[in-house]
Structure 1
Amino acid sequence: MTTPDHFPIASRTQILALLPTFIVVAVDATGMGIILPLLPFYSQRLGATPFIVGSLISVYALCQLVAGPVVGTLSDRYGRRRVLIVSQIGTLAGFVLLASANSLTLVFLARIIDGLTSGNISVAHAYAAEHSEPRARKQALGTTSGAIGTGLLVGPALSGFLVQFGVTAPIWAAAALSLISIAATIKLLPSDCPASGVLDTRRDIELTLEPKAARVLLLMPYAWGLLGLLILFFFANSMFISQVALFLSARFSWQGHPFGARELGAVFAYAGFINIIVQGLLITQASRFTSDRTLVVVAFVIMSAGFSGLAIVGRTGLLAVLLTLIILGTTFIRTTLTAELSRSVPPHRQGMIMGLNQSLMSGANIFAPLVSGALIDRRLYATWALSMAATAACGAIAATGLLASSRPETASLDKPHAHPEPI
C-alpha cells in the first residue's frame, strides 16, 4: 500500500501563493461554464443541426491544435502572466462576437477567435506546477482544477438563471466575467519570469523550434504513454460533452417538457459540485491508500459503466446515478493523469508538455464531436453511448499496462550533459 509520505500535502504558504491563480481561473471557468450548456440550443435557434453543433466544437479544437504549442512555448519564453492576459483578451472578443451573432457564420467566427487565443487552462496548469514543489504537485494542480470545478459549478447555474431574461443574457454575462478575469490577472497575479530567468532573443527563437526538446520527449516513453491515455479520455469525454445537451433533450423530460438550457445548466452545475468534492477531499485521501494506476483504471471502469447505462436507461432518477458515475470517473482521470504527466518531465518543460497535452486534446476534440454529431443526427443514441463506453473500457485496459506502479526518474534526461550537441 502506498504510504502517505509519497503524497505530501502542499504547505499553507504554497497554497496562499496559488490563491491569485485560483481566483483568476475560477472567474475564467465561470464564463466558460455559462457558455457550455447554452451553446447547443443557441446554435439550434440559428439553424444548426447536431452535426453542425459538433462542428462548432471541432473548429474550436482545430484552432487550439494550431495555437496550443505556440501558447505553451510562448509562456515558457515570456512568462505565464503575459500569455494568460493575451489569451483572456481573445476569449473576451469571442464572447462579445458570439453574443452579437445573427448567423451561424458569426458563431463559427467567434469560436475560431476564442480557439486561436485559447490556452488559459494549460498556462494556468503550467503556472501552478512551476510554483509548487515536485512532490506536492498533485495538490497544486488540484487547486487549479478545483478552481475550474468552482467555475463549472457557478457558471452553468448562472446560465440557467439568466436564460429567462433572454438567450443572449448569459453570453453577455460571460463576456463581463472575462473582462473581470483580465483585470484580476493584471492586479492579482504576480509578474513571472521565463523559465530561463533571462530573455535571450537568439536563444528563445531557437527554443521555439527546439529540436532538442522533441528529442528529450522521445526519450520519455512514460510521458507518451500518459498522453495516449489522455487521448482516449479526451475522445470519450468530448463525444459526451459535445452532444449531451441534444441527447438529453431527445430522450428525457423534466416537469413535462424536454431538457433545455436550464436543465442542462443544472447538470453541468452538478458536475462542478462533484469536481469540487473530488478535488477538495476524495483524490488526496484516495492517493494515500492506493496507486495512481488503480485510481485511473477504476475511474475508466466506472465511466464505461455510466456510458453503458445511458444506452438503455430512460428514467430521470437513474439518469442522475449514471451521470454521477461519469462525472466521478472524469474528474479522477483528468486530475490524476495531468499531475502524473507534469511529474514526468523536468520543471522547465512544464509549458511545453502542457501545451502538447492541450494540442493532443484538441486533436481528439476535432474528430470526436463530428463522430458524436453524426450519430445523434441519425438518432443512434444507443450507438453513441456504447461507443463512449468502449473507448473508456480501452482506457482501463491500457492504463493497466502503461501506468507505472512507481514513477520513473526523468529529471536527468534533460540535463545539459545528457545532450552534448550544441543548441
Structure 2
Amino acid sequence: MNKALVVILAAVTLDAIGIGLIFPILPALLREVGHTTDIATILGVMLALYSACQFLFSPILGVLSDRFGRRPVLLVSLAGAAIDYVVMAFAPELWLLVIGRAIAGITSANMAVATAYITDISSEDERAKRFGLFHAMFGIGFIIGPVLGGIMGDIWLRSPFLVAALLNAVNFALALFVLPESRPGRRDARFTWDTLNPFKPLAWAFTFKALIPLMAIYLIMSLVGTVYGTSWAIYSEDVFAWNGMMIGLSLGAFGVFHALAQAFLTGPAVARLGERWSLITGMAFETGAMLTLAFASQGWLLFLMAPLFALGGIGMPALQSLLTRQVDADRQGQLQGVLASLVSLASVFGPLFFSFVYHGIRPVWPGAIWLVAMGIYLLALPLMAGIRRSPRMSAPLEP
C-alpha cells in the first residue's frame, strides 16, 4: 500500500472519529445551553442544517480541488474545522452552537476532496477496493468516536469538542507535512462567483446519460442508509426493551462487521463478480437482512444479522467505482462533490421521512419500518437492469 493512500486513509479515520465524538453529548449540551428539556426539534434542525451545509458545499469543494489542487482545499477545510470545534467547546449560547454546526457541515464536505484524492492515486481496477478501504476506515472512526465521546462527555460535557479540534489539527499537520499533492490545479484556474452555485455541478452531471441511473441508485442507497441512524435505537427499545449499553453494543457489532467487509471483501468480490454484480449482491444481502429484522422477535437476531448487513456493504464501493468510470480524470473531483451532495440530501430528508413513518407505524408494528426501507431499496431494481460498463466520457470543461 503506497504512502499517500495510508496517509489519506489515516486522515479519513481521524476525521470520522472527530465527527463521531460529538453525537453522544450533543443532546445534553443542547439542554444545557438551551435551558430546556424539550430539545428534539432543536436537535433535528441542527442535524438537518449540518447535512444541508454538506450538500451546498460538497460540489464547491470538489470543483475548487479540481481547479486549485487537492491539498490547498483540504488544508483550509481542516484548519477551519479545528477552529470551529474550539469555538463550540466554549460556546455559551445556543445560537453559537447552531452556527458552529453549520460551519462543521461546511468543513465536513472535504470528504469529497478525499475521495477525489483516492481516485487520483488509484488505477481503475484498484478503485473499488480502495473505496472499500475508505468506507471501512470511516466506519472504524464512527465506531471509536461515539464510544470515546460518551466516556469523555461524562468527565466534562464539552471535552469531546476539544478532542475533535485536536484530531483536526493532527489531520492538518498530516496534510501539510506528509501528504503529497495528487493532482495539481490547472494553470488556467480562475475563480468566478458562478463556481459557488452548488447546483451547477449537479446540472453538469446530468449531461452524462450513463451517470443518471447510477446517481439515482446512489441516492436511493444513501436514503435507505439513513434508516439505521434514525430508527435503530428507538426500534430496539420498543421491540426488545434494550438499554443504552445494548444499543451501543449492537451498533458496535454492526460497525465492526461492516468495516471488515468493506476492507477485505469488496476487492475480491469485484475481481470475481465485476462491479455490477457486486452491487447487486450487496443489495440482495442488505434486503434480506432488513426483511429478517422486520419479523424479528428476539434481540439476539440483531447481532446475528450484523454479518449479513456487512455483506450488503460491498455494494456502495462497487457503485462508486462504476461511477468514476463515466467521467475523465479532470472531472473526478467534481463527480465526488456531486456524490457527496447526494449523500447530504439523503441525510437531510431521510431522517425526517423515516422518523415520520416510524411515528405512524410504531403503535401497530414497529418492524414495518424495515419493510418501508426495503421497498425504497427495491426502486433501484429497474435502474440496475440498465447498468453496463461503459467507456469513460467527458464534457467540455467549465470556464
The answer (yes or no) to whether the contact 1:21–1:124 under 8 Å persists in 2 is yes
Return the alpha-carbon distance in structure 2 between the equivalents of residues 57 and 319 of structure 1: 26
Aligned to 1:334: 316
Per the TM alignment, residue 402 of structure 1 is displaced from its structure 2 partner at its CA by: 3.0
Return the alpha-carbon distance in structure 1 between the equivalents of residues 351 and 105 of structure 2: 15
Q: Does 1:180 align with 2:170?
A: yes
DSSP-derived class of the 2:15 partner: helix
Per the TM alignment, residue 68 of structure 1 is displaced from its structure 2 partner at its CA by: 1.8
Aligned to 1:277: 260
Q: Does 1:320 align with 2:313?
A: no
Aligned to 2:139: 149
The answer (yes or no) to whether the contact 1:50–1:376 under 8 Å persists in 2 is no
Return the alpha-carbon distance in structure 1 between the equivalents of residues 239 and 349 of structure 2: 24
Aligned to 1:26: 13
Return the alpha-carbon distance in structure 2 between the equivalents of residues 384 and 44 of structure 1: 28
Query: 1:129-152, CA deviations, whole angstroms, 9 ceiling, x for partnerless residues?
Result: 011222322223233233213322
Aligned to 2:368: 386
Per the TM alignment, residue 127 of structure 1 is displaced from its structure 2 partner at its CA by: 0.4
Q: Which amino acid aligns with 1:95?
A: Y
TM superposition score normalised by structure 1 = 0.80
The answer (yes or no) to whether the contact 1:32–1:174 under 8 Å persists in 2 is yes
TM superposition score normalised by structure 2 = 0.84
DSSP-derived class of the 1:194 partner: coil
Per the TM alignment, residue 379 of structure 1 is displaced from its structure 2 partner at its CA by: 7.4
Please report the RMSD computed on the Cα atoms of aligned residues, expressed in angstroms: 3.4
Return the alpha-carbon distance in structure 1 between the equivalents of residues 300 and 248 of structure 2: 17
The more displaced of 308-317 and 225-234 is 308-317
Per the TM alignment, residue 231 of structure 1 is displaced from its structure 2 partner at its CA by: 0.9
The answer (yes or no) to whether the contact 2:258–2:309 under 8 Å persists in 1 is no
The answer (yes or no) to whether the contact 1:60–1:115 under 8 Å persists in 2 is yes
Point out where structure 1 has 5 or more consecutive residues left out of the alignment: 1-11, 417-421
Aligned to 1:357: 339
Q: Does 1:136 align with 2:119?
A: no
> Please, which of 169, 175, 178 is the counterpart of residue 159 of structure 2?
169
Return the alpha-carbon distance in structure 2 between the equivalents of residues 178 and 323 of structure 1: 31
Distance 1:200 1:415, change over 3 A: closer
Q: Which amino acid aligns with 2:190?
A: T
| Count of aligned residue pairs for this structure pair | 396
Per the TM alignment, residue 206 of structure 1 is displaced from its structure 2 partner at its CA by: 7.8
Per the TM alignment, residue 264 of structure 1 is displaced from its structure 2 partner at its CA by: 4.7
Per the TM alignment, residue 248 of structure 1 is displaced from its structure 2 partner at its CA by: 3.9
> Please, which of 124, 146, 166 is the counterpart of residue 114 of structure 2?
124
Return the alpha-carbon distance in structure 2 between the equivalents of residues 239 and 90 of structure 1: 30
DSSP-derived class of the 1:221 partner: coil
Return the alpha-carbon distance in structure 2 between the equivalents of residues 53 and 22 of structure 1: 30
> Please, which of 168, 181, 184 is the counterpart of residue 191 of structure 1?
181
The answer (yes or no) to whether the contact 1:301–1:392 under 8 Å persists in 2 is no
The answer (yes or no) to whether the contact 1:155–1:269 under 8 Å persists in 2 is no
The answer (yes or no) to whether the contact 1:37–1:265 under 8 Å persists in 2 is no
The more displaced of 50-59 and 22-31 is 50-59
Distance 1:394 1:373, change over 3 A: closer
Distance 1:37 1:136, change over 3 A: same
Distance 1:215 1:71, change over 3 A: closer
Q: Which amino acid aligns with 1:31?
A: G
> Please, which of 229, 254, 260 is the counterpart of residue 241 of structure 1?
229
Distance 1:207 1:43, change over 3 A: closer
Aligned to 1:298: 281
Q: Does 1:92 align with 2:82?
A: yes
Query: 1:310-345, CA deviations, whole angstroms, 9 ceiling, x for partnerless residues?
Result: 44435331222344433442x223212122212221
Per the TM alignment, residue 285 of structure 1 is displaced from its structure 2 partner at its CA by: 1.9
Per the TM alignment, residue 299 of structure 1 is displaced from its structure 2 partner at its CA by: 2.5
Aligned to 2:149: 159
Aligned to 1:230: 218
Point out where structure 2 has 5 or more consecutive residues left out of the alignment: none
Per the TM alignment, residue 249 of structure 1 is displaced from its structure 2 partner at its CA by: 4.6
Identity %: 24
DSSP-derived class of the 1:201 partner: coil
Q: Which amino acid aligns with 1:290?
A: L
Return the alpha-carbon distance in structure 1 between the equivalents of residues 45 and 119 of structure 2: 33
The answer (yes or no) to whether the contact 1:49–1:377 under 8 Å persists in 2 is no
DSSP-derived class of the 2:18 partner: helix
> Please, which of 290, 293, 300 is the counterpart of residue 307 of structure 1?
290
The answer (yes or no) to whether the contact 1:126–1:354 under 8 Å persists in 2 is yes
Distance 1:35 1:309, change over 3 A: farther
Aligned to 1:4: none
Per the TM alignment, residue 367 of structure 1 is displaced from its structure 2 partner at its CA by: 1.3
DSSP-derived class of the 2:296 partner: coil
Q: Which amino acid aligns with 1:23?
A: A
The answer (yes or no) to whether the contact 1:307–1:385 under 8 Å persists in 2 is no
